[in-house]
Amino acid sequence: MCGIIGYSGVENSVPKLIEGLKALEYRGYDSAGIAVFTESGISVIKAKGRIANIEKILDTEYQNLESVCGIGHTRWATHGEPSDRNSHPHGTDRIRLVHNGIIENYIQLKKELSACDYSFESDTDTEIAAKLVDLNYKTSEDPLQAIKTSVEKLYGSYALGIIFDKYPGKIYAARKDSPLIVAISDKGNFIASDIPAVLKYTNRYYQLEQGEIAVVEKDKVTVYDECGSLIKKDIMTADWDVRAAEKCGYEHFMLKEIYEEPLAIVNTIRPRINDGLPCLDLPGLTDDTIKAFKRINIVACGTAMHAGFIGRTAIERLARIPVKVEIASEFRYKNPILDKDDLVIIMSQSGETADSLAALRLSKEHGAHTLAIVNVAGSSIAREADSTLYTWAGPEIAVASTKAYTVQISLMYLIAAKFALCHGKITDDEARQYLHALIEQTPVAVENALKLSDRCIQISEKISGAEHLFYIGRGIDYDIAQEASLKLKEISYIHSESYAAGEMKHGTISLITEGVPVIAICTQDHLVEKMISNIKEVKARGAYVIVICKENTHMDKEVADEVLKIPVLSDLFMPIPAITVLQLVAYHTSVIRGCDVDKPRNLAKSVTVE
């Protein structure tokens, strides 16, 4: 987590750093800071809280601050509470440094630096890295050498942006296991954690690889490999346009991103259907290799893992291949049973989640084939997997994932059809019918679900005062319940749990008291009767029941307090319109409760630490 930015060019860097930090604020917003070259040396401005606090300081104390080169940081606290003194940049009068990642051996290094008469102002691991660079710079007076010697001593993950007092106009950047790009423009060059930070100025960038060090100047970029040899990098082009990373009139990014779902589904799925059949075009994955897989593991975190649950249901139902869904942070330490007969699907919006990346590397070590399903092009997971499928959702800025989840599950439906065909479980005609429904009907169902926004607001009004809430469902509705519950709790701070509807009576039903809201997802025709029995069980104990069901499902009035009827698709695809309305309910509840929808407390979008 944490976002870093740097600019060296012919224009004032200050507004560029601030804008870049705002675009990176989704990576953390505990504090922010910048360090820029001025005539009197390096000026540092940093403060606890949002970037707006830095803007206030600039407006009042630094009105005429101009500088053509500087670095900036927005923090998600790991070591040390959010505070002014723990804010980045860290360092000394000679060097200033910003960091994303975790220096695991910082305690040992701190002892070594203390023995060299260094003292410390913060509780951060980053300050140790900064002082280590300072020490090596003091002895060598050569920034490159100082960085090289320092990073050799660092254990853990880092993306670093460093400036040295005697080298105005130069930004030094290094990375290992945390993302960092170098972006190129006609008016100067940038470093950044992610593309949206620079999209306003350029879409041309290099991806820094593990161990590489870059020197960024106004009119050139020099990159060295781990051994210090000069290397030439290929320039990549991001095809996200700048408006994709703006709110475009919506009150929040989350709302905008929910409304983008129909198009995101079309962009992700349509190019992958040819003559009505799935066309995945995956390096290393021929029909024969797909046929040879005996097991599938889907490994991911949070919402992406929840998309894996839907993928499991779809693949098992259609292709009859056993699928396990694993939490990446657990999987990576459990010595998983994997071999060449296994396919491991790593699902990730950002493509940088530390635990998912580690799970990917571990799966490769075990000889399994790895398939990444990733939204951010060129991200670490996308680059390291044996095969990669992109979800073309465009940039997702709100911390709560919405459109990325919807396209992940859409892609899983497509993969399920492909695997079912290769394993001879469905015919071409059946696949054509299924894919026709996927591409023609699901985007329309989402459009129609979005029209239920007012009804969602009414439901949000009903639940917004609750302290606890439950989502229940059976089968694929339980898969959806888990994501709906996460969405609500992370942005509205209402304690929410999801349960398999039939499991409530084995313990959890004791938590149901008068008025506790229970949202019952009931979209599977063959499970409606069973769900109604479970709904009656909680209703009899005082629950305030809200049922989400198909438009054509008959629901007696006395079954529920509220019924939200959603567009009808075949049962397997019902999670798509269901999640749209459930995301809207979470969104409006958060708004009603006055929460910071796009930047919920304690969270960051890109979780690059374990």
Q: What residues are labeled active site?
A: 2, 605
- The number of residues making up the chain comes to 610
β-strand pairing of 468-473 with 495-500: parallel
DSSP 3-state assignment of 325? strand
Minimum Å gap between C-beta 345 and ligand F6R is: 13
- Matching residue, tokens 């639940």: 463
C-alpha to C-alpha distance for 390 and 404, rounded to whole angstroms: 11
C-alpha to C-alpha distance for 310 and 373, rounded to whole angstroms: 14
C-alpha to C-alpha distance for 126 and 147, rounded to whole angstroms: 14
Minimum Å gap between C-beta 13 and ligand F6R is: 29
Minimum Å gap between C-beta 491 and ligand F6R is: 8
Quick count: other Cβ atoms within 10 Å of Cβ 312? Answer: 23
Structure tokens belonging to residue 553? 């499902």
C-alpha to C-alpha distance for 91 and 35, rounded to whole angstroms: 10
DSSP 353: -
Q: ∠ at Cα 175 (173, 177), nearest 5°? A: 160
C-alpha to C-alpha distance for 201 and 217, rounded to whole angstroms: 16
C-alpha to C-alpha distance for 359 and 339, rounded to whole angstroms: 14
DSSP 441: I
C-alpha to C-alpha distance for 400 and 494, rounded to whole angstroms: 15
Query: Is the peptide bond preceding residue 575 cis, with omega within 30 degrees of 0?
Result: no
Structure tokens belonging to residue 394? 């465009």
β-strand pairing of 342-348 with 295-300: parallel
Smallest Cα–Cα separation from 436: which of 285, 263, 569?
Answer: 569
- As to burial, measured by CB atoms within 10 angstroms (0-12 exposed, 13-18 middle, 19+ buried), residue 349 is buried
Structure tokens belonging to residue 104? 């695991």
Binding site for ligand F6R (CB under 6 A): 301-304, 348-350, 353, 356, 400-401, 486, 490, 607
Smallest Cα–Cα separation from 95: which of 157, 53, 144, 32?
Answer: 144
Q: ∠ at Cα 508 (504, 510), nearest 5°? A: 115
The CB-nearest residue to ligand F6R is: 302
Q: Which is nearer to ligand F6R, 511 or 595 (CB)?
A: 595
Amino acid at 362: L
Cα Rg of the chain, angstroms: 25
- Matching residue, tokens 């499902």: 553
Minimum Å gap between C-beta 308 and ligand F6R is: 11
Q: Which is nearer to ligand F6R, 30 or 490 (CB)?
A: 490
Give the residues across from 6 on adjacent strands: 71, 191
DSSP 3-state assignment of 498? strand
C-alpha to C-alpha distance for 483 and 427, rounded to whole angstroms: 32
CA 399 to chain CA centroid, Å, is 7
Structure tokens belonging to residue 250? 């919506």
Minimum Å gap between C-beta 325 and ligand F6R is: 13
Contact, 71 vs 98, CB < 8 A? yes
Q: Which is nearer to ligand F6R, 348 or 464 (CB)?
A: 348
Q: Which is nearer to ligand F6R, 301 or 559 (CB)?
A: 301
Minimum Å gap between C-beta 407 and ligand F6R is: 11
